[in-house]
Structure 1
Amino acid sequence: MRIASSIVLAALGLGFAGAASAQDAQIAVAANFTAAAEELAAAFGAETGHEIGFSFGATGQLYAQITQGAPFDALLAADDERPAMLVEEGLAEGDTLFTYAIGQLALFSIEPDRVTGPESLEGDFTQLAIAEPAAAPYGAAAVETIVALGLTEAVADRLVTGQNISQTYQFIDTGNAELGFVALSQIIEREDGSRWIVDADLYTPIAQDAVLVNADNDVARAFLEFMQGEDGRAIIATYGYGFAGE
């Protein structure tokens, strides 16, 4: 609830916009969550007066940067593996670890009639875009889907790989790839093109976890609390994400 979240923020000394003690926080965010994170930061800033900075990228790359000493205050990953690894390695605060969203995979094309369902992967196309599966959980989910459908050999020589899910989306949005696997959140507001929301039983659930990296940054801690509140969850849901236990 807004009242409850305001109490938490006030207790942390963050409840007044423009406070002299305002701090910034720099948060590493999985690329699929870009739009949602920016809207969350705007809402958080309106309530507290604090500004959140983001670095977007593939979860694997962000994890590697944190292990190498990158000055991030928190990580919003696209999986539940890397945040847990940071906790195990003593690089993050275990009591702040939580699943903030369950992601959904989609097959998308800017062509209106290109994608109708899984059968579209057997159609006449030159390039199918996926995110780098070793670094991007949505890329790993795309590979699992292709394997589950028995289409590995059929698409192997037509795959084009993006460094992260944002670059993958760009390949499709520019028409360089006729179709590709993206996060539903990236296309949730688009009315053009064609899409298939991939059946959830074709890939491992994409549990997206968050964790505080810098225990001394109260702004980052409060932002994670805000994400778990009613207002934060409402914003996250508008981008097509689900929640654990639903």
Structure 2
Amino acid sequence: MIRPIFALLVALALPAHAGQVQVAAAANLAAPIRKIATAFQRDTGHAAVVALGSTGKFHAQVRNGAPFEVLLAADAQTPRRLEAEGLARPGTRFTYAIGQLVLWSAQPGVVDSNADVLRKPAHGILAIADPRVAPYGAAAVETLKNLGLLSAWERNFAHAENIAQAYQFVATGNAPLGFVALSQVAEDGRILRGTGWIVPANLHAPIRQDAVLLNPGAANPAASAFLAYLRSEPARAVLRAAGYTF
């Protein structure tokens, strides 16, 4: 059974033409998608019901018949695979954001601007999203590999189910360090709590996040409207403030 982390459905009297769209969104979008869904409902009259989770698990759920109508993935490969598998509508896929990875601690003074903490002897837990299903986790592993530090740290990994859980590990103090999405800890490029190192883009493949219209949404005007809204300046402004690039 699909258990969405949250649902966004504004309980107001909607215009007669208004519809509803079921959106599966990558866990790194937790903060901005709330704002986008609220603005979408205000501006179009349509409501978005949003489930957050790992992109890999959403892929499996869609293949098993989950009724999602739109997928906002944390990568570009999953929407492309869904197209190839005949589960998404050709020609609807586009990159809605490029994510940024950050090494983060909830405590002040732990992570410096050069991430020297990684070059010290490994100690304590390092939280990362499961790289098998979560693109941000794969980017974390690639970063450590390119720094020549993977073998030093991999025994210390705490694998989270998705990037939201990786954030929780660090935010609660269960892990002193973790690789999370910049959007989870910053606003307008400024880290709001603790300390962090924004991973340089050359240390991992771009976290290109694609959206696609899934087959159940093909006949739903609200689904197409949501994808169009995601390209609009109001939506892009929310994503930009959350630390995404384009």
Same fold per TM (> 0.5)? yes
Whether 1:42 and 2:38 are equivalent positions in the alignment is: yes
Whether 1:139 and 2:140 are equivalent positions in the alignment is: no
Matching residue of 2:230 = 227
Whether 1:57 and 2:53 are equivalent positions in the alignment is: yes
Whether 1:28 and 2:29 are equivalent positions in the alignment is: no
Matching residue of 1:201 = 202
State how far apart, in whole Å, the 1-side matches of 2:150 and 2:37 are: 40
Runs of 4+ with >4 A deviation: none
Cα RMSD after superposing both structures: 1.2
Answer yes or no: is the 8 Å Cα contact 2:130–2:138 preserved in 1: yes
Q: Residue deviations 1:58-113, cap 9 Å, x none?
A: 10001110011000001000000000111111111122110000000000001111
Q: Percent identity?
A: 49
Equivalent of 1:120 in 117, 142, 148: 117
Q: Residue deviations 1:127-153, cap 9 Å, x none?
A: 000000010000000000010011112
Amino acid at match of 1:131: A
SS in 2 for 1:96: coil
State how far apart, in whole Å, the 2-side matches of 1:74 and 1:192 are: 32
Matching residue of 1:242 = 245
How far the C-alpha of 1:49 sits from its partner, in A, is 1.9
Matching residue of 2:5 = none
State how far apart, in whole Å, the 2-side matches of 1:195 and 1:76 are: 26
Amino acid at match of 2:241: T
State how far apart, in whole Å, the 2-side matches of 1:209 and 1:39 are: 19
How far the C-alpha of 1:26 sits from its partner, in A, is 0.8
Answer yes or no: is the 8 Å Cα contact 2:24–2:52 preserved in 1: yes
Answer yes or no: is the 8 Å Cα contact 2:125–2:175 preserved in 1: yes
Matching residue of 2:212 = 211
State how far apart, in whole Å, the 2-side matches of 1:125 and 1:97 are: 42
Gaps of 5+ in 2: 1-12
Amino acid at match of 2:213: L
Equivalent of 2:174 in 173, 176, 179: 176
Answer yes or no: is the 8 Å Cα contact 1:24–1:53 preserved in 2: yes
Answer yes or no: is the 8 Å Cα contact 1:44–1:226 preserved in 2: yes
Answer yes or no: is the 8 Å Cα contact 1:122–1:154 preserved in 2: no
How many residue pairs get aligned? The number is 227
Gaps of 5+ in 1: 1-16
Equivalent of 1:99 in 76, 95, 100: 95
Matching residue of 2:149 = 151
SS in 2 for 1:93: coil
Amino acid at match of 2:118: L
Answer yes or no: is the 8 Å Cα contact 2:185–2:193 preserved in 1: no
